[in-house]
Amino acid sequence: MGGRDGEVDQWLGKIKCTRMKVYKLILVLIGITTIISCGNEPKSLSDLQSNFYEIQHNGLRLGDSLNVFFFKNPDLVDSVELTLNGKLVKNHIVMDSSNTHLGINNLKIKVYAGGSPILGETNVPILNSFKETPVEFEIVKEYPHPAELFTQGFFFHNNKIYESAGQYKKSKLVTYSLGFTNYSQEVKQDANLFSEGIALLNGKIYLLTYREKRALVYDVQTLKLIEEIPMPSEMKEGWGLTSDGEFLIASDGTQTIYFLDERLNVKRKIQVAGHQSVYTYINEMEFINGKIYANVWTTNFVLVIHPETGAVERYYDLTSLNQSTGSDDVLNGIASYGNNILVTGKTWNKIYELSEKK
C-alpha cells in the first residue's frame, strides 16, 4: 500500500504541475493578445486614415454634407463626436444657416476607439452655394481727384466729397466739391495717427485709425473734433467704415465685417464669402441700396455683399480703370452718387462715375 500511495502522489503532482504550466501558458497567451490588441488601437486620426483635415483644404458650400470618414479600421471606431463652432452636430449633417455661417468655421472631433479619445481640430471654410455674377457698367463721367490723397475713406454728402487720407504725418480729413480739387475744409490729424475709413451716422463723422486702436468723431458740418472712442479689442486693425443709418459697419483687413453701435460696441459680425473662396483684405466700403459695396485691397474688384449673411452676390471688375503703378496706389474709394457710384483710388488723379447697365 505504501508503494502505491507514493505512485498516486507522484501522479497527482504531475497533474498539478501540468495544470500550472497550462495556466501559465493561458496567462502568456492573454498577455500576448492584450499586447497585440493594444498595439492595434488607433492613436491618431492618421491611424484611421480619416479625411478630417482634408475638409479644411476642400471647404464646403451651403447645401453640402459634412462627411467625416475613416478609411482604415472603421470597425474599431465606437463613436464620433463633432463640434461645429462650439455646438454638437451629427456626422453627415447638411450645412445650412441653422448650423453654420459663411466664412471660417471651427470644427472639432473626438473619436472613441477603445483607448483614450482621439482629438482633432481644424477650421473649415463654408462657401456660398451660388456664384457671384459680374456687374456690367459704363463710365458716365470722369472728375479730377486730389492726387496727394492716400484715400482711405470716401463718401458724398450735401453736394460734397468727404475723404480721409492715410499715412503717418500725412493723415487728414477733407471736403471738396465734385469736379474740383481745392479743399472746402481740411483737418490734419496728429503725426502719430494713420487715418483710415470714415462714415456718417447721426450728424457725426466717425474716422477709424489704422493701428492706434481709437476712432475720432467729428461734427459733419464744422469738422470739429467731438471725441475719441476706443475701437473694439477684437478688431485687429482699422480699415474700412460705412453706415447703414443704424449701425457703423467696419472692416479690419480680414474677412470679418463688424456692425457697431455709436459707442463702437460690436453688435454682430459677418464673414465675406463667395462661391470659390473666403474674401480677406476687405477695405473701403459703402452701404448702397441695402448692400455693402467693398474694395478688396490690392485687387481691382468691388464686391456687392449681402449684409445679413456675408454672401458675395455680385462684383465689379474695374481693371480697365486701374491707375496703379505699384503696391500702394490701389483702387480704394466707393461713394453712392444718386443712382450711380463714384470710385477712385489712393493717389489717383481721377474719380469715375459709373452707372450699371440695365
Cell numbers linked to 182: 481745392
Q: Which residue has the cell 449633417?
A: 93
Cell numbers linked to 347: 493717389
How crowded is residue 141: how many other Cβ atoms within 10 Å of its Cβ?
14
Please enumerate in sequence order all residues whose Cβ is within 8 A of that of 76, keeping only pairs 6 or more positions apart, or say none. 40, 41, 42, 48, 113, 114
Task: Say what the pTM is.
Answer: 0.86
Residue 227 vs residues 86, 214, 218, 223, 240: alpha-carbon distances, Å = 38, 10, 7, 12, 20
Please enumerate in sequence order all residues whose Cβ is within 8 A of that of 278, keeping only pairs 6 or more positions apart, or say none. 102, 103, 104, 125, 127, 255, 271, 272
Spatial CA neighbour of 296 closest among 237, 240, 353, 243 = 240
Question: What is the CA 357 to chain-centroid distance, rounded?
Answer: 32
- Helix, strand, coil in percent for the chain, rounding step 5: 15, 45, 40
Q: Compute the radius of gyration of the chain from its Cα atoms.
A: 33
Please enumerate in sequence order all residues whose Cβ is within 8 A of that of 38, keeping only pairs 6 or more positions apart, or say none. 115
Tens digits of residue pLDDT in 141-195: 999 999 999 999 999 999 999 999 999 999 999 999 999 999 999 999 999 999 9
Q: How many CA atoms lie within 13 A of 329 on its CB side?
A: 14
pLDDT tens string, the chain, 358 residues long: the values are 555 555 545 654 554 555 555 445 444 344 434 434 445 688 899 999 999 999 999 899 999 999 999 999 899 999 999 999 999 999 999 999 999 999 999 999 999 988 789 999 999 999 999 999 999 999 999 999 999 999 999 999 999 999 999 999 999 999 999 999 999 999 999 999 999 999 999 999 999 999 999 999 999 999 999 999 999 999 999 999 999 999 999 999 999 999 999 999 999 999 999 999 999 999 999 999 999 999 999 999 999 999 999 999 999 999 999 888 877 899 999 999 999 999 999 999 999 999 999 8
Please list the residues that pair with 241 across neighbouring strands. 250
In terms of DSSP bridges, do strands 118-127 and 60-61 run parallel, antiparallel, or are they unpaired? parallel
How crowded is residue 348: how many other Cβ atoms within 10 Å of its Cβ?
24
Domains of the chain, first to last: 46-127 (2.60.40), 133-356 (2.120.10.30)
What one-letter code names the amino acid at 278?
Answer: V
